[in-house]
């Protein structure tokens, strides 16, 4: 931890990114249940630095620095419930920026209610909160078509839906476009959408503005009508026409049509990158990339995964690799869906991985990477067909490729006598895998760590990838690698240490972790969000202050 940073400030940073009050990240765990006891540091800080805390929450949310939104939404709700008048007034001005989708809004509302019930046994629907929620909907006054799309795509979450929130907040529409959407939400009747009058609150306004507002109002009503028609549609061709003309998303489509190839062909045209990656197996199963029209849709996938799109979306290589490995398995992680992988799609994913590695930002830090080559590393990660060894190798590949100062050591069960690694920037995933496999099945060439450390030190980041943090048997690391490195003095002043137990489970206990140790991050398990967490930790969970 930077000695110039207040401890409570660091704890806020850590909680927002990790969702934990300790320097422990448990992958594949749903961090959605929090209480006042989880954030005493926020309660202490908002007493006299509440505006700063709100700025930190804003930065983490807007700049997508957290792998999950729940900790951010809980911290935001906590400030809105326990902050003073200035904090609350300032915070509600940020509502639309922090809660950018209805899902965020529902999470925020759920936490607000829980915290208010704990605080004073009330639901918390006071005047300020109602006004804040009303403002969220009315902020779309000049972009009502976007609101219409959001409220129909994201209908409910965390036991909340738009109808309940609109009614409890007594939302008063700012104009007729918003009024139309609110009536649709509350009444759910097509007739209400069709028969609403076209009058607009535009006295003394420019004729051009009036025309634009009328056109937007018509667009809103037409879209909502299309959503209702799609919901009740029984004809495939009519549904395809609705999707094409009005840009409907998968969430607008009745389940009975989600096994139709023609429907997915149309959806793919406007499908966002992450949604496409999530549904690529389904589309492959339906034969979209194998029939006479395959080349067009393969090219469409290629365009959606080009380097410019990947850079804009800030997709980490490991997320691409997880998706690629799952796709090549030919079945979903729940085994409810199976398909025959398309070579063309596999090739696109492989190139996307290479491109995403190249696009990773440089840190200008010196890394020491230690990777276990024990047999336990051949186990698959929780919820993934990727083995621990493959994932660790990919992480090493990404770091070595984008940083000039990286040293890699490999070990089995004796940290004091690791193997010399020949991994270098010219390696690819396959060559790294071969090097790890060779050492895992042979004695290799040992070095003495103490001797090696005399000429290799001053590392900014020390990172170890092993199977589990604790356990019985010689194949596992009994003591954290950070302690061993400290005894040989290989770290630079204020260096950080990351210990990744690749095959660990969320329920695993880490008894020896010091909650206030800001220099060491323990990762239990490994999932697609893990690299983002590690990068955030290495950068000190920095805010743009």
Mean pLDDT lowest among 381-385, 438-442, 485-489, 524-528: 438-442
DSSP classification of residue 173: P
CB 43 within 8 A of CB 82: yes
pLDDT-based confidence at 475, cuts 50/70/90? very low
The mean pLDDT of 407-429, rounded to a whole number, is 84
Residue 208 pLDDT class (50, 70, 90 cuts)? confident
Residues with Cβ < 8 Å from 116, sequence gap 6 or more?
Answer: 81, 122, 123, 124
pLDDT of residue 443: 58
> How many Å separate Cα 526 from the centre of its chain?
14
Higher pLDDT, residue 353 or 529: 353
Q: Is 207 helix (H, G, I), strand (E, B) or coil?
A: helix
User: pLDDT value at position 545?
Assistant: 41
Question: 3-class SS at 258?
Answer: coil
For the chain, percent of residues with pLDDT exceeding 90: 58
Q: Which residue, 538, 531, 544, is CA-closest to 1? A: 538
Cβ pair 224, 181 in contact under 8 A: yes
Domain spans of the chain, in order of start: 1-195, 271-357, 364-539
Q: How far apart are the first and last CA of the chain?
A: 17
**What is the separation of C-alpha 258 from the centre of its chain, rounded to a whole number of angstroms?**
25
Q: What is the pLDDT of residues 257-286, one digit of tens each?
A: 999 999 999 999 999 999 999 999 999 999
pLDDT score at 2 = 52
Residue 500: burial class (beta carbons within 10 Å; 0-12, 13-18, 19+): buried
Taking the C-alpha atoms of residue 272 and residue 191, their distance in angstroms, rounded to an integer, is 32
Give helix 207-232 / helix 144-153 axis angle, nearest 10°.
Answer: 20
Question: For the segment 232-256, what is each residue's pLDDT rounded down to a tens digit?
Answer: 999 999 999 999 999 999 999 999 9
Helix (H) or strand (E) holding 346: helix 343-358
Q: What does pLDDT average to over the chain?
A: 87
Can you tell me the distance from the alpha carbon of 211 to that of 217, in angstroms, rounded to the nearest whole number? 10
Determine the Cα–Cα distance for residues 90 and 80; give it in Å rounded to an integer: 9
Owner of token pair 């900014």: 460
Q: How confident is the model at residue 437 (pLDDT cuts 50, 70, 90)?
A: confident
Instruction: Give me the pLDDT at residue 66, please.
Output: 84
- Determine the 3-state secondary structure of 255 from DSSP: helix
CATH architecture of 364-539: 3-Layer(aba) Sandwich (3.40)
Q: Taking a C-beta distance cutoff of 8 angstroms, is the pair 389, 436 a contact? A: yes
SS3 content of the chain, % helix, strand, coil (to 5): 55, 10, 35
Query: And the tokens for 416?
Result: 């004091």
What average pLDDT does range 359-379 have in this prediction?
89
Least confident of 275-279, 443-447, 497-501: 443-447
264 vs 255: CA distance, rounded Å: 12
């Amino acid at each position: 931890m930077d000695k110039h940073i207040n401890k409570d400030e660091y704890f806020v940073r850590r909680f927002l990114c990790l969702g934990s009050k300790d320097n422990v990240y448990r992958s594949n765990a749903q961090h959605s249940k929090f209480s006042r006891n989880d954030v005493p540091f926020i309660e202490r800080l908002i007493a006299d630095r509440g505006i700063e805390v709100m700025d930190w929450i804003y930065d983490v949310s807007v700049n997508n620095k957290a792998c999950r939104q729940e900790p951010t939404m809980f911290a935001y709700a906590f400030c809105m419930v326990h902050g003073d008048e200035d904090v609350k007034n300032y915070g509600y001005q940020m509502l639309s920026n922090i809660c950018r989708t209805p899902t965020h809004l529902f999470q925020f509302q759920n936490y607000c209610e829980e915290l208010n019930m704990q605080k004073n046994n009330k639901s918390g629907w006071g005047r300020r909160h109602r006004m804040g929620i009303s403002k969220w909907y009315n902020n779309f006054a000049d972009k009502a078509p976007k609101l219409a799309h959001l409220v129909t795509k994201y209908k409910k979450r965390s036991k909340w839906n738009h109808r309940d929130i609109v009614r409890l907040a007594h939302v008063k529409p700012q104009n007729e476009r918003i009024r139309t959407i609110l009536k649709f939400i509350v009444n759910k009747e097509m007739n209400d959408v069709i028969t609403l009058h076209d009058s607009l609150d535009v006295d003394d306004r420019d004729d051009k503005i009036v025309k634009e507002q009328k056109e937007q109002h018509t667009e809103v009503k037409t879209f909502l009508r299309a959503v209702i028609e799609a919901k009740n549609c029984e004809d495939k061709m009519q549904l395809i026409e609705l999707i094409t003309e009005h840009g409907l998303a998968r969430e607008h489509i009745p389940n009975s049509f989600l096994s139709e190839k023609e429907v997915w062909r149309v959806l793919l045209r406007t499908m966002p990158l992450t949604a496409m990656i999530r549904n690529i197996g389904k589309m492959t199963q339906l034969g979209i990339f194998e029939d006479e029209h395959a080349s067009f849709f393969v090219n469409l996938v290629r365009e959606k995964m080009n380097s410019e799109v990947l850079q804009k979306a800030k997709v980490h290589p490991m997320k691409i690799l997880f998706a690629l490995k799952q796709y090549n398995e030919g079945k979903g992680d729940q085994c409810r869906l199976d398909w025959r992988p398309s070579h063309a799609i596999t090739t696109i994913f492989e190139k996307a991985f290479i491109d995403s590695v190249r696009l990773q930002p440089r840190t200008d830090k010196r890394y020491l990477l230690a990777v276990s080559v024990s047999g336990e590393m051949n186990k698959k990660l929780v919820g993934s067909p990727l083995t621990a060894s493959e994932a660790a190798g990919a992480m090493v590949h990404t770091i070595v490729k984008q940083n000039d100062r990286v040293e890699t050591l490999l070990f089995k069960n004796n940290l004091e006598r690791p193997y010399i690694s020949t991994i270098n920037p010219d390696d690819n995933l396959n060559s790294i895998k071969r090097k790890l496999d060779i050492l895992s099945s042979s004695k290799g060439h040992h070095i003495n760590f103490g001797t090696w450390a005399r000429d290799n030190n001053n590392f900014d980041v020390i990172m170890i990838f092993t199977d589990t943090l604790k356990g019985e048997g010689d194949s596992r690391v009994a003591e954290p690698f950070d302690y061993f490195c400290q005894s040989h003095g290989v770290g630079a002043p204020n260096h950080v240490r990351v210990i990744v137990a690749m095959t660990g489970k969320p329920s695993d206990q880490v008894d020896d972790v010091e909650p206030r140790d800001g220099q060491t991050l323990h990762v239990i398990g490994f999932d697609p969000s893990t690299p983002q967490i590690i990068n955030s930790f290495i950068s000190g969970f920095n805010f743009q202050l």
